[in-house]
Structures are given as structure tokens and as C-alpha cells.
């Protein structure tokens, strides 16, 4: 196996499947099966999930809502997704723990780094909810932060596209994909992998970011086994 401990970042929108909003149980169960496969290989898996399928703070702010208020709603949305993913994983008999950056202790454990690591060592999937617990930070930043804290080998960002391209592949059919690219080249070429806060945090801590298509069955397993899937951003 290429990686021992991974942090998987999933977008909230990915959970919508074919829907316009909310959670598609079929998609959720597909993800749970993919995750189960890698857990069974002994890979330690931590997950950060977005909340955009339920609420986006930025969208709220652009409609006149106070940004901090909107971001708090977004953080709660990630907890809803975390609970849904936890259920889906438990349906597959995968042991999980949900830890949240904002305390809602009747619902989930508060985030405690040492506890999170113990859970991972025991083979439990740890889902981190409520982002970083702070407004103005994205769940990508939360993913990088948690990945560094738990000393993950890499952050695996599941997206709709299968990697980083020189141009937007959804707009230009001739766009070419990078198999590997350095943090510096991503910046020099003006490419977008994550928001700058998340990206810089990853670069400074030499945490590789892998962008891949999570909706293609088997991709997650191939990736952790060392197959060249998606794009690796590294030093």
C-alpha cells in the first residue's frame, strides 16, 4: 500500500448525486463501500466533508446574510453530512467516530487530536465535522489542518474531475492533465487546486494533495494501492 494514513476530503455537493440539494442515499452508500474497501486493507482513514449540498456561507453572504452567521450554518451542514456518512459506513459494518470542531456533545464527540489518532490506530474511520470551527475558513482548509495534525501521509481530494488540468476541462476539450505537479507550478501557472489558505498550509507542511475522481468506482482503492490516479501536487 502506498499510504498508511489518509485524509479523504469530500465535497458536500458530491453527496447530492443527481439531486439539486441534500443527500442522495445511493451516492452515500457507494462512497461508504469504497471507503470500507480501503479500511479493510488496513489503511487508516480520516474524512472531512463539506456542507455545500445543504448550505454555503459564501452564498448566504452574497445574498446579504452576515458572513459569520452563514459560515456557522455551513459548519452545522458539515455535521449533518458527517452524521449521514457515519450511518452509511455503519450500515457497511465499518466502525466510525464523528468528532466536531464545534461542541455538540450530545450528538458527537468534540475534536480531540489524541483521541482521533487512537481511533484511527484502532481501525475506526474518523469523520471531522464543523470545519475548523471558525468562520472564513473553508472545509478544504479544515481538511489540510486535520491532515497535518494527525500526520496523514496525504490528503486525497475527491472531485468531479479526475485531476488538475492546464485549462478547465469542462470548458476546453483539449485541456491536458498533469500526473504530478509541484506546489510552485500550481501557483506560477495560476491553477486552482484549493483556496489559497488551504493550499499554502499544505505546501508549508509538505503535505501532498491528490486530486482525483471519487465518483469512479474503485478509484480510491487504486489510489491507495499506488496506481497513478488523478494528479499529485507535491513539493
Which spans of this chain sit near ligand GTP (rule: CB under 6 A)? Answer: 97, 105-110, 118, 122
Nearest alpha-carbon partner for 11 in 198, 155, 180, 140: 140
From residue 18, give the alpha-carbon distance in Å to each of 23, 31, 150, 158: 10, 14, 33, 17
| Contact call for residues 131 and 142 (beta carbons, < 8 A) | yes
**Cβ closer to ligand GTP: 109 or 213?**
109
**Cβ closer to ligand GTP: 108 or 145?**
108
| Contact call for residues 209 and 230 (beta carbons, < 8 A) | no
From the CB of 122, what's the least distance to ligand GTP, in Å?
Answer: 6
From the CB of 160, what's the least distance to ligand GTP, in Å?
Answer: 32
- Rounded Cα–Cα distance for residues 110 and 29 (Å): 25
Nearest alpha-carbon partner for 142 in 226, 48, 205: 48
**Cβ closer to ligand GTP: 99 or 219?**
99
- Rounded Cα–Cα distance for residues 183 and 192 (Å): 11
Cell matching residue 47: 474524512
**Cβ closer to ligand GTP: 108 or 233?**
108
From the CB of 42, what's the least distance to ligand GTP, in Å?
Answer: 18
From the CB of 120, what's the least distance to ligand GTP, in Å?
Answer: 11
From the CB of 4, what's the least distance to ligand GTP, in Å?
Answer: 19
Identify the bridge partners of residue 165 per DSSP, sorted by sequence position: 177
Three-state DSSP class for residue 61: helix
From the CB of 97, what's the least distance to ligand GTP, in Å?
Answer: 5
From the CB of 107, what's the least distance to ligand GTP, in Å?
Answer: 5
Q: What is the DSSP letter of 190?
A: T
**Cβ closer to ligand GTP: 79 or 209?**
79
**Cβ closer to ligand GTP: 114 or 173?**
114
Identify the bridge partners of residue 93 per DSSP, sorted by sequence position: none
16 phi and psi angles, rounded to 5 deg:
-70, -25
| Contact call for residues 156 and 2 (beta carbons, < 8 A) | no
**Cβ closer to ligand GTP: 23 or 108?**
108
Amino acid at each position: 500500500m502506498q499510504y498508511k494514513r489518509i485524509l479523504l476530503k469530500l465535497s458536500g455537493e458530491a453527496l447530492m448525486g443527481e439531486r439539486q440539494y441534500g443527500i442522495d442515499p445511493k451516492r452515500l452508500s457507494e462512497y461508504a463501500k469504497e471507503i470500507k474497501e480501503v479500511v479493510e486493507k488496513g489503511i487508516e482513514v480520516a474524512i472531512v466533508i463539506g456542507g455545500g449540498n445543504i448550505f454555503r456561507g459564501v452564498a448566504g453572504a452574497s445574498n446579504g446574510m452576515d458572513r459569520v452567521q452563514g459560515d456557522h450554518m455551513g459548519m452545522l451542514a458539515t455535521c449533518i453530512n458527517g452524521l449521514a456518512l457515519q450511518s452509511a459506513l455503519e450500515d457497511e459494518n465499518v466502525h466510525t467516530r464523528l468528532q466536531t470542531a464545534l461542541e455538540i456533545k450530545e450528538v458527537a464527540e468534540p475534536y480531540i487530536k489524541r483521541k482521533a489518532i487512537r481511533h484511527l490506530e484502532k481501525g475506526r474511520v474518523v469523520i471531522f465535522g464543523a470545519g475548523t470551527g471558525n468562520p472564513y475558513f473553508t472545509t478544504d482548509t479544515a481538511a489540510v489542518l486535520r491532515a497535518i495534525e494527525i500526520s496523514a501521509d496525504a490528503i486525497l481530494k475527491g472531485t468531479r474531475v479526475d485531476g488538475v488540468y492546464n485549462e478547465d476541462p469542462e470548458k476546453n476539450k483539449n485541456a491536458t492533465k498533469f500526473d504530478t505537479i509541484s506546489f510552485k507550478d500550481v501557483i506560477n501557472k495560476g491553477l486552482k487546486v484549493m483556496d489559497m489558505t488551504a493550499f499554502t498550509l499544505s505546501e508549508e507542511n509538505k503535505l501532498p494533495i491528490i486530486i482525483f475522481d471519487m465518483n469512479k468506482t474503485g478509484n480510491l482503492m487504486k489510489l491507495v494501492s499506488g496506481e497513478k490516479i488523478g494528479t499529485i501536487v507535491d513539493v
